[in-house]
Amino acid sequence: MAHAAQPLKRPLWTPGVLVMLVFMFAGAVAIIARFTGGIGYVTNLTNARPWGIWVGIDVATGVALAAGGFTTAALAHIFGRHYYEPVTRPALLTAVLGYTFVVIGLLVDIGRSWAIWKPMFYWNFNSVLFEVAMCVMIYLTVLYIEFLPIVAEQFKGRVNLPGILSGLNRLVDGFLQTADRILGKVMWVFIILGVVLSCMHQSSLGSLMLVAPTKLHPLWYTPILPLLFLTSAIAVGYPMVVFETTLTTASFKLDSEVKILAPLTKITIFLLGFYMVLKIGDMVMRGTWIYLLDGTYQTNSFLAELLFGVMIPWIMLLFKRVRQSARGVFTAAALIVGGVVLNRVNVFIVGYRSPLTESGYFPAPSEILVTLGLIATLMFIYRVVVTYLPVLQAPKEVSS
């Protein structure tokens, strides 16, 4: 079995981190502008085009890419493939951060941010968005619970808060100790719950557009949209883990995890293949391939999604040579991740046609800054967490 995860204990303030800080700052300025001038002041949104990249990327894509959390948890803990445990912690961390930032993105995007709690009290069971919101909220709590033992592992027995907070040391330590003890026994409930909730809201995210049959381009509007969202989320889970683990190990110069990641790509052939069959089959069944050659930017975007995001990486992974090279696996994974990003952007932005007003939408600079700022913050916190908490596998010579 692999050696235990450890805090990285590397210097935090690298040049890369400083670049992140610049983006975070720019994003913060744009967010302040949004809360002083209104959404209209910082975005290109209109009445014809009410959702832009804050929903399409910050929320929809964020949720999809956090899928590594539940897919690895299912594999390692439910299906008992403990071999994969070294990658569950980073995947879990990505999910925790991803969903946290989905909520922050929503706070910026919705008009009445201070009212975000209202869906807890006013229920509309007909609303797909209501279902998504409930699941995301509960799942976020579950994720924090799943993450708590990692915090406990690092700090229990040595809680040492600075200054006046030191009075709380005993209390916090007691909390961590108890949490750790109890959670160990009931964690299986949360692990399963996490998978169930993920399946629910990943698919419901696809149902969001079903209420607008005349507004979403037929290439994407299909009754099986929820199924497509669910299968693509499951299919992108492991590639996302490959993608980020490769980036992290490279940037921290850790031991490559290719050995663990390689078998994951075999599962991906199956999962992505299933998604591809559904997606192409759906197109054939509904006869929407007639749109494929009409040359509009929407169709081209669909083609790009299907070719570069699904078919090419799938074919790549069929080759043993690709699967055995770190670079090959990474490229395929990156394509799949890009494909899912493009798919979510297509469904929520590119494929959306306002019925009466011809409104081309392209995000305003400050809209983009908010999104980039959020991503930078996410990466920054990831970095802080892996520096101080046992998430990643430390290099062998230190730990073995």
Partner 1 sequence: MQITRRRFFRVMGAAGASVAVRPPAGHAWQSKAPPDPFGCLVDLTRCVGCRKCEEACAEVNGLPEPERVNCQCTIFEKDRRPDHDAYTVVNRYYTGKVDEFDKPVPTFAKVQCMHCQDPACVSACIVGALTKDETGAVRYDVTKCIGCRYCMVACPFEIPAYEYFDPITPKVMKCTFCYDRISKQGGVPGCATICPTEAITFGRRSTLLEVANKRLKENPAHYLPHIYGEKEVGGTSWMYLSGVPFEQVNLPALPETPSPKLSETVQHSLFTYLWSPILLFGVLGGLMAWFNKNDNPPDKGGV
Nearest of 99, 392, 89, 91 to residue 251 by alpha carbon: 392
Of 164-172, 194-202, 263-271, 321-329, which segment contacts partner 1 by CB under 8 A?
A: 194-202
Q: Are 229 and 340 in contact (CB under 8 A)?
A: no
Residue 199 binds partner 1 (CB under 8 A): yes
Residue 400 binds partner 1 (CB under 8 A): no
Nearest of 112, 120, 186, 121 to residue 149 by alpha carbon: 186
Both structure tokens of 347: 């469904």
Of 121-129, 158-166, 169-177, 236-244, which segment contacts partner 1 by CB under 8 A?
A: 121-129
Nearest of 84, 204, 81, 223 to residue 139 by alpha carbon: 204
Q: Between residues 84 and 330, which has the closer beta carbon with respect to partner 1?
A: 84
Residue 13 binds partner 1 (CB under 8 A): no
CB atoms within 10 A of CB 220: 25
Q: Between residues 330 and 352, which has the closer beta carbon with respect to partner 1?
A: 352
**Binding residue for partner 1, selected from 192, 312, 326, 334, defined by CB under 8 A:** 192
Q: Between residues 11 and 126, which has the closer beta carbon with respect to partner 1?
A: 126
How many residues touch partner 1 under the rule CB under 8 A: the total is 92
- Find the shortest distance in angstroms from Cβ 381 to partner 1: 17
In the window 244-283, what residues touch partner 1 (CB under 8 A)? Answer: none
- Find the shortest distance in angstroms from Cβ 300 to partner 1: 21
**Binding residue for partner 1, selected from 63, 64, 195, 350, defined by CB under 8 A:** 195
Strand (E) positions, the chain? 5-6, 392-393
**Binding residue for partner 1, selected from 61, 71, 222, 231, defined by CB under 8 A:** 222
> What is the SS3 string spanning 360-371?
CCCCCHHHHHHH
**Binding residue for partner 1, selected from 28, 172, 193, 311, defined by CB under 8 A:** 193
In the window 30-59, what residues touch partner 1 (CB under 8 A)? Answer: 34-41, 43, 45-48, 50-51
What's the rounded Cα separation, in Å, for the pair 266 and 357?
46
What's the rounded Cα separation, in Å, for the pair 305 and 283?
14
DSSP state string for 284-305: HHHTGGGGTTS--HHHHHHHHH
**Binding residue for partner 1, selected from 12, 165, 196, 277, defined by CB under 8 A:** 196
x/- string (CB under 8 A) for partner 1, residues 368-387? Answer: --------------------
Angle of CA points 262, 91, 161, to nearest 5°: 140
Both structure tokens of 25: 């700052």
Nearest of 180, 123, 136, 132 to residue 154 by alpha carbon: 180
- Find the shortest distance in angstroms from Cβ 315 to partner 1: 29
Q: How many CA atoms lie within 13 A of 121 on its CB side?
A: 4
What's the rounded Cα separation, in Å, for the pair 69 and 110?
26
Residue 203 binds partner 1 (CB under 8 A): yes
Q: Are 206 and 230 in contact (CB under 8 A)?
A: yes
Of 12-20, 150-158, 266-274, 366-374, which segment contacts partner 1 by CB under 8 A?
A: 150-158
Of 97-105, 204-212, 234-242, 313-321, which segment contacts partner 1 by CB under 8 A?
A: 204-212
**Residue 6's beta-bridge partner residues?**
392
Residue 137 binds partner 1 (CB under 8 A): no
Residue 89 binds partner 1 (CB under 8 A): yes
Of 68-76, 162-170, 301-309, 331-339, which segment contacts partner 1 by CB under 8 A?
A: 68-76
Residue 6 has phi, psi (to 5 degrees) of: -145, 155
Of 242-250, 262-270, 353-361, 380-388, which segment contacts partner 1 by CB under 8 A?
A: 353-361
**Binding residue for partner 1, selected from 11, 15, 157, 287, defined by CB under 8 A:** 287
Place of tokens 């490959």: 242
